Amino acid sequence: MNEQLKAILEVLIFISQEPLTLEKIKEVLGEVPDEELKAALQALQEDYASDSRGIQVIQTAGGYLFTTKPEHDQWVRRLLQIEKKTKLSSAALETLSIIAYHQPITQAEISAIRGVDSTYSLKTLLQKKLIKIVGRKKAPGNPLVYRTTERFLQYFGLNSLDDLPKEEEIAKILEEEKQSIS
Amino acid sequence: MEQEIQDYQIQNEVSQSSTDEGYQVKLEIFEGPLDLLLFLIRKKKIDIHDIPIAVITRDYLEYLEKKEQINLDREAEFLFIAALLIYIKSQMLLPREQEVSQEDDPRQILVDRLLEFQKIKVACTILREKEENQLLRWKRTFMPPVAKPDELDLLDVSLFDLAETFFLIMKRKERENFRVIKGKDVSVEEKLKEIVDYLEKNGSMDFLEYFSNQETLEEALVAFFCLLELVKNHTVIAIQEQLFQTIRVWLRKDRPHHLPHGQSHE
C-alpha cells in the first residue's frame, strides 16, 4: 500500500468543502494509476471505519467527503447548540421525489401527479437549492422546467441519480404492504 | 406542514411566502385527494386494478361531506377527483355490446394515476429514511468570508437568477430620471476591462450596487452581458445566497489569461 498517496488523499478530501471527485483528484495528482488510487481511497475509508474514529469518508454526489459518524450526532448538536435538524415537509418531499423521477418536469406536470397545487413546495425546494430551473418547455405558455441539483444527491447521501430507489425495490415494498394488510 | 412553517421561521425567510401559508390547511392526515383515495382503497382491501367505483365514490363523497371546513383552494382539488369518480361511474353504467378491454375501461385513467402516485409515496418513505440517516452526518461547512466559493453554488446560480436580478434593477432604474449622455458609446471590450479591473482592485463586486451605478440603460445592459460573458469564460464566479438577493462576483484564481473576444487585460 502506498502510504504517502493515502496521506495525500486524506489531505485533499479534508480540505474540500464539497464532495471531491475522482477527476479532480487526478487533476491534482497527475499520473497515478487508477488501481493504485482506488486502493488507497479504499484503505483510507477502511482506516476511518474503525470504532476509534469519529469521522468517516463517505461517497456522495459523485465524490468523497469527510463527515461525522451518525452515532455522534448528539455531541455535534450540543456543541453547535442545535436542537434538531429540520426535515423536509411531506409535501416538499413528495414534490421532490416526483421531480427526481420525472425530470425535467414542469409545475403543471408535478401538480397533475400529486393532484394538488405545488407552488409552495417548489418555492421551498428552490430556496433550499435541492432543485433548479433549467429552462422552459416548448409548450403553450412556455412553462419553467425543473431538475434536481447536486445538493439533492448530497442531501440524501446518493452518489448519483441511479441510486434512487428502483422500481423493483418499490414494487417489493408495495407487495409486502399488501401482504401485511390481508 | 408545521415543519415547513417552522423551517421558515428558523431561516428567517418569512417575508415573501408567509402569506402563502393560507392553504396549508390540515385535512386530517391527507395531503390531497389521491392520498385520501389510496387510504380508502387500502382500508377496504380493494385491488387497485379492479376498483368498485360505486363504493369508492360513496366513501369519498361521505368524507368530503364530513369535512366542514375545507380551505377553498384544496376543496377544488378534492372536488376535481370527486367529479372524475362520478364521471367514471356514469361511464360504467352505460350498456356495452361487448366485454370491455382493459384500454377501454373508464377506470384506467384513475388507476394509472393512483399507481404512479403510490409509487411516489413509497419512494418518499425510502428517501425519508435516507434523509434522516444523512441528517445525522455532519460535514464541515465553515467557510472564511472571501475564500474561494464552492463550485456547487456556481452551478446553482442559473442564468435565470442572473436575469431575474437584472430585471429587478431595470425596474428600479425605470423609476429614476436619468440623463442620457449622447454620443457616449460603451463597447463590450471596455466594459469587460472595467469589470475585471474593478475586481482586481477590490477583490469582489456587489452586482446590484455596480449596476445601479451605471449611467445609462445601455451601459447597464452592456455591463450585464459582460458579466454573463465573464462567467461563461470562467474568468469570474458569481454567487447568490438566496433568491432576490444581490449576486456577489469574484475573480477566479484559475481564470484564463484572455478576456473574452481575445482581449488581453494585462
- The full set of domains in chain A, from first to last, is 3-79 (1.10.10.10), 90-181 (1.10.10.10)
Residue B142 lies in a domain: no
Question: A9: pLDDT confidence band, cut at 50, 70 and 90?
Answer: very high
Q: What is the pLDDT of residue B73?
A: 65
Q: Please check whether residues B196 and B110 belong to one and the same domain.
A: no
Q: What is the pLDDT of residue B214?
A: 78
Interface of A with B in 29-88 (CB under 8 A): 56, 58, 65-71, 73, 76, 85-88
Q: Please check whether residues B64 and B18 belong to one and the same domain.
A: yes
Cα four-point dihedral sign A137, A140, A142, A148: negative
The CATH number for B159's domain is 1.10.10.580
Q: What is the pLDDT of residue B166?
A: 78
Mutate: best of A10, A14, A15, A17, partner B, most B CBs <10 A: A17
Q: Please check whether residues B102 and B175 belong to one and the same domain.
A: no
Residue pair B243/B156 in contact by the 8 Å Cβ criterion: no
The better pLDDT of the pair A135, B255 is held by A135
| Distance in angstroms (rounded) separating the CA atoms of residues A127 and B241 | 9
Q: Which domain holds residue B193?
A: 151-262
| Distance in angstroms (rounded) separating the CA atoms of residues B151 and B60 | 50
- Taking only the tens place, the pLDDT of each residue in A42-54 is 999 999 999 999 9
H or E stretch at B90: helix B72-93
Q: What is the pLDDT of residue B260?
A: 65
| Residue A64: pLDDT over 70 | yes
Residue B167 lies in a domain: yes
pTM of the model: 0.62
| Distance in angstroms (rounded) separating the CA atoms of residues B237 and A70 | 34
Residue pair B92/B104 in contact by the 8 Å Cβ criterion: no
Q: Cell 468543502 sits at which residue?
A: A17
Residue B22 lies in a domain: yes
Residue B26 lies in a domain: yes
Q: What is the pLDDT of residue B103?
A: 63
Ranges of chain B whose pLDDT falls below 50: 1-27, 143-155, 262-266
Residue pair A114/B35 in contact by the 8 Å Cβ criterion: no
CB contact B163 to A (< 8 Å): no
Residue B192 lies in a domain: yes
Q: What is the pLDDT of residue B55?
A: 87
Q: What is the pLDDT of residue B17?
A: 38
Q: Please check whether residues B161 and B105 belong to one and the same domain.
A: no
B106 upstream amide cis, omega within 30 of 0: no
Q: Please check whether residues B181 and B246 belong to one and the same domain.
A: yes
Contacts of B158 in chain A (CB under 8 A): 132-134
Q: Please check whether residues B129 and B204 belong to one and the same domain.
A: no
Tell me which of A2-11, A113-122, B147-156, B225-234 is least confident: B147-156
Q: Please check whether residues B6 and B114 belong to one and the same domain.
A: yes
Nearest Cβ partner for B31 among A97, A116, A126 = A116
Strand partners, A133: A146
Q: Please check whether residues B177 and B212 belong to one and the same domain.
A: yes
Q: Please check whether residues B165 and B224 belong to one and the same domain.
A: yes
| CB atoms B124 and A94 under 8 Å | yes
Question: A86: pLDDT confidence band, cut at 50, 70 and 90?
Answer: confident
Instruction: Give the Cβ contact number of residue A108 at 10 Å.
Output: 12
Instruction: Please count the structural domains in chain B.
Output: 2
Q: Which residues are CB-neighbours of B4 under 8 A, at least 6 positions away?
A: A89, A91, A92, A120, A124, B24
CB contact B72 to A (< 8 Å): no
| Residue A180: pLDDT over 80 | no
Q: Which residues are CB-neighbours of B53 under 8 A, at least 6 positions away?
A: B85, B88, B89, B92, B107
| CB atoms B140 and A17 under 8 Å | yes
Decide which of B101, B135, B169 is a domain's last residue: B135
Q: Please check whether residues B91 and B180 belong to one and the same domain.
A: no
Q: Beta B247-251 vs A105-106: how paired, if at all?
A: unpaired
Q: What is the pLDDT of residue A113?
A: 93
Contacts of B30 in chain A (CB under 8 A): none
Q: Please check whether residues B52 and B90 belong to one and the same domain.
A: yes
Residue B116 lies in a domain: yes
Residue pair A170/B122 in contact by the 8 Å Cβ criterion: yes
Residue B20 lies in a domain: yes
Residue B87 lies in a domain: yes
Which cell numbers hold the place of B191?
A: 466594459
Q: What is the pLDDT of residue B8?
A: 36
Q: How far is A104 from chain B (nearest CA, A)?
A: 15
Strand partners, B251: B236
Q: Please check whether residues B54 and B127 belong to one and the same domain.
A: yes
Which cell numbers hold the place of B205?
A: 463586486
Question: A148: pLDDT confidence band, cut at 50, 70 and 90?
Answer: very high
Contacts of B6 in chain A (CB under 8 A): 86
Strand partners, A56: A67
CB contact A12 to B (< 8 Å): no
